[in-house]
Amino acid sequence: MIIRFDIEYHTIFGEDLFMNILSHDGSARAHAMHTRDGIIWSIELDVPQAIEYYYTVTWQGNEKRTEWMLCPHSFDPKEVSDPTMPAVQRDAWMDAPENFRIAGTLIPVFSLRSRRSFGVGDFGDLKQMVDWVAATGQRILQILPINDTTNSHTWMDSYPYSCISVFALHPQYVDLNALPPLHHEADRKRFDVLRQELNALPQLDYERVNAAKLEYLELLFEQEGERMLGSEAFKIFFEENNEWLIPYAEFRVEHEKAANGPQSTINFYYFVQYILASQLAAVHAHARARGVLLKGDIPIGVDRNGCDVWQEPRYFNLNGQAGAPPDDFAVDGQNWGFPTYNWDEMLRDGCHWWERRFRNMARYFDAYRIDHVLGFFRIWEIPVPKKSGLWGQFQPALALTRDEIHDWGILESTLKKTVAGVVKSSDSGADDSCNYLFLRDHKNPELYHPRIAAHKTEAYQELSAREKECFNRLYDEFFYRRNNQFWYDEAMLKLPKLVKATRMLCCAEDLGMVPECVGWVMNDLGMLSLEMESMPKEAWVRFGHVERNPKRSVATISSHDTPTLRMWWDEDNERTQDYYNNILGHEGDAPHPLSGSLASEIIQRHLDCPSMLCIISLQDWLAIDETLRCRDANTERINVPAEPHHYWRYRMHINIEDLRNDKAFTERIKEMIVKGNR
């Protein structure tokens, strides 16, 4: 039977795609595919019986990377419903087989530490981390965002989710060891002394590290810049990236000039980004060769004073601030400070900015996490200049008319007393108690939103019993049912195009105040959900049940926003006792601190669960070994969401080289992964 195999795979000039059919002896026969646009590749083959296959990308005749070699696809012509019709097999990354279950590690790049680090993890360290992941039998390595966040040249720039460019990489991640040495011996010695000093620190000194690395790169630019920028490799890089590279470099020059910061030329920023892109591409190629997938992170927001807003302000609402409603992390909600998106404008050109962003990510990653996927349905928008998240409202949303509020039993006199006035950008930024039941819609002040967590206000307590009942019904309807279909339609205008823009596996961070429609969209698009036992999706249970996790999900224990497993264990003794007795099934008192054997048991439960991906933070992996793990568990937390200005500076307490050399620890993890059938 003649079958046409199609795959959407974005290649660059000089790359070719081959379909490799496996034989019984494990060898593979390669079949060259064809494309007209560098996106859809096709081949027609006679397939008389069931086959297993994978894809290979070559560049100038040399194998560059593979897709699904670790877990080949299969095709059986007997399953073709109508053999008289032309048969087409369409492949995409998300079509991973049902038995595709792998384990991996989460660690920010800045948190890596090696003997050669310059006080911060870099792309050279990331390559070493890939080797450790491969040695333990893991097959995916997840990192946090690595985009440039340089704004003030202070530790405030350490926040990786506030990028000034969604395309440019952060200069701090350059591996200086992989670059030509400085010619002057005095400079080499001076920087090596500084490197050793900064690398000996228990945490990242963001300001000193970045000042030193930028100075080093400036000296290297004077020495090597002309040669590098004249190379054929740079010309190819520039041709492929000039749409974002030129405005980024211009922005950096103008921004530093206005801020009286370090003055550099446009060519210097070209030089730095070329080095970073080359090094990250080398890490990706190395990961592929070791059978490890790289998973990146796409932040939901951008810095309002960054290049993206400067270049294309029409895409952003600068009078709004993105954040999150109140939750266990932050009782007053969160205000991230990012401008919200002007989706009307973005949809007008088919989400071109987002599509470019996803395709740029696909150069370096095989999978990605969409930070706060709820933002594609609706975003929690706080009006400028308010600070507290309690002033927020979901945008877009079907706001209430005055008549609708009356229909729910709220009197006009009550509405007048309990509705906030119109917030103006000229207002004082100081927040009062937000003692209201209703807030005016940001776009139309004649429409209204129930104020989030209004039940805790004095205004609510002053209502009569009848009015409280009426308001409760209105509140529940508005936040949990009224907007479901509307938000589903909003997400389906954006996400299908973006998910299909690349070959990457799409994983969504879908925690928080999640409307029912989120599950509808994620199922429709094959997106993986995030499952955390300590943050169950069902509001009526205290702990999730990992054995019930959906197959298309990512199971994890802690994230960059939560306490590590050891911290969580000692945070609330009553909660831990409940977990110890009723989830783990042990009798007696829960031991404190968390023992290595209990940490192993908890991780093994996650490895055994149905989730396609099980990704454990490095801190939680280390928790299983009481001699290897950090003595002070409280130093291992990465971020505290309730702190709006948190210093992101965690670094692993041991060198990657020592981690790789600990054969007993490596074998222990490998045995756990094998036991979990991953």
Residue with structure tokens 């589903």? 488
Q: What is the mean pLDDT of residues 393-413?
A: 96
Q: Are 62 and 14 in contact (CB under 8 A)?
A: no
- Which residues, 6+ apart, have CB-to-CB distance to 223 below 8 Å? 180, 182, 183
**Alpha-carbon dihedral 530, 533, 535, 537, rounded to 10 degrees:** 70
Q: What is the mean pLDDT of residues 8-30?
A: 79
Residue with structure tokens 């007393």? 417
379 or 41: which leads in pLDDT: 379
Q: What is the pLDDT of residue 675?
A: 97
Q: What is the pLDDT of residue 176?
A: 98
Q: What is the mean pLDDT of residues 476-501?
A: 93
Which residues are registered as beta bridge partners of 28?
Answer: 22
Q: What is the pLDDT of residue 40?
A: 80
Alpha helices in 259-342 (DSSP H): 266-289, 307-311
Q: What is the pLDDT of residue 74?
A: 79
- Which residues, 6+ apart, have CB-to-CB distance to 85 below 8 Å? none
Q: Is 5 left (phi over 0), alpha (psi -120 to 50) or beta?
A: beta
Q: What is the mean pLDDT of residues 368-375?
A: 94
Q: What is the pLDDT of residue 91?
A: 75
Q: What is the pLDDT of residue 323?
A: 93
566 or 37: which leads in pLDDT: 566
Distances (CA, A) of 94 to 67, 89, 301, 549: 12, 14, 25, 18
Q: What is the pLDDT of residue 95?
A: 47
Q: What is the pLDDT of residue 54?
A: 86
Per residue in 559-607, pLDDT (tens digit) is: 999 999 999 999 999 999 999 999 999 999 999 999 999 999 999 999 9
Q: What is the pLDDT of residue 570?
A: 97
What residue type is 586 in one-letter code?
H
513 or 154: which leads in pLDDT: 154
Per residue in 66-83, pLDDT (tens digit) is: 766 656 777 888 877 666
Are β-strands 51-59 and 15-22 bridged in parallel, bridged antiparallel, or unpaired? antiparallel
pLDDT > 70: percent of the chain: 94
Q: What CATH architecture applies to the domain 2-91?
A: Sandwich (2.60)
Q: Are 190 and 232 in contact (CB under 8 A)?
A: no
Q: Which of 81-85, 219-223, 573-577, 614-618 has the lowest mean pLDDT?
A: 81-85
Per residue in 118-151, pLDDT (tens digit) is: 999 999 999 999 999 999 999 999 999 999 999 9
Nearest to 401 by CA among 443, 454, 445, 467: 445
Q: What is the pLDDT of residue 661?
A: 96
Which pTM was predicted?
0.86
Q: What is the pLDDT of residue 35?
A: 83
Quote the CA–CA distance of 661 and 643 in Å, as a whole number.
37
Q: What is the pLDDT of residue 632?
A: 96
Q: Is 393 left (phi over 0), alpha (psi -120 to 50) or beta?
A: beta
Q: What is the mean pLDDT of residues 650-664?
A: 97
Q: Where are the domains of the chain?
A: 2-91, 92-297+344-371+484-678, 398-482
- Which residues, 6+ apart, have CB-to-CB distance to 599 below 8 Å? 565, 566, 620, 623, 624
Q: What is the mean pLDDT of residues 252-257?
A: 92
Q: What is the 3-state secondary structure (H, E, C) of 388-447?
A: CHHHCEEECCCCECHHHHHHCCCCHHHHHHHECCCCCCCCCCCCCCCCCCEEECCCCCCC
Quote the CA–CA distance of 109 and 118 in Å, as a whole number.
13
Per residue in 86-97, pLDDT (tens digit) is: 678 877 644 455
Please check the confidence at residue 349 and state whether its pLDDT lies above 80: yes
Give the CATH number of domain 92-297+344-371+484-678: 3.20.20.80
Q: Which of 1-15, 58-72, 264-278 has the lowest mean pLDDT?
A: 58-72
Q: What is the pLDDT of residue 431?
A: 60
Q: Average pLDDT over the chain, rounded to whole? A: 92
Please check the confidence at residue 224 and state whether its pLDDT lies above 70: yes
Per residue in 165-186, pLDDT (tens digit) is: 999 999 999 999 999 999 999 9
Tell me the backbone φ, ψ of residue 446, rounded to 5 degrees: -85, 0
Q: What is the pLDDT of residue 37?
A: 66
Which residues are registered as beta bridge partners of 463?
Answer: none
Quote the CA–CA distance of 313 and 533 in Å, as a whole number.
40
Q: What is the pLDDT of residue 82?
A: 67
Q: What is the mean pLDDT of residues 534-539?
A: 90
Q: What is the pLDDT of residue 94?
A: 45
Please check the confidence at residue 543 and state whether its pLDDT lies above 70: yes
What residue type is 594 in one-letter code?
L
Please check the confidence at residue 84 and state whether its pLDDT lies above 70: no
Residue 140 burial class via C-beta count within 10 angstroms: exposed 0-12, middle 13-18, buried 19 and up = buried
Q: What is the pLDDT of residue 13?
A: 62
| DSSP assigned state of 333 | -
Q: Are 662 and 118 in contact (CB under 8 A)?
A: no
Q: What is the pLDDT of residue 12?
A: 62
Q: How many degrees, rounded to 5, is the angle at CA 504 between CA 500 and CA 509? A: 90
Q: What is the pLDDT of residue 27?
A: 82
Q: What is the pLDDT of residue 501?
A: 84
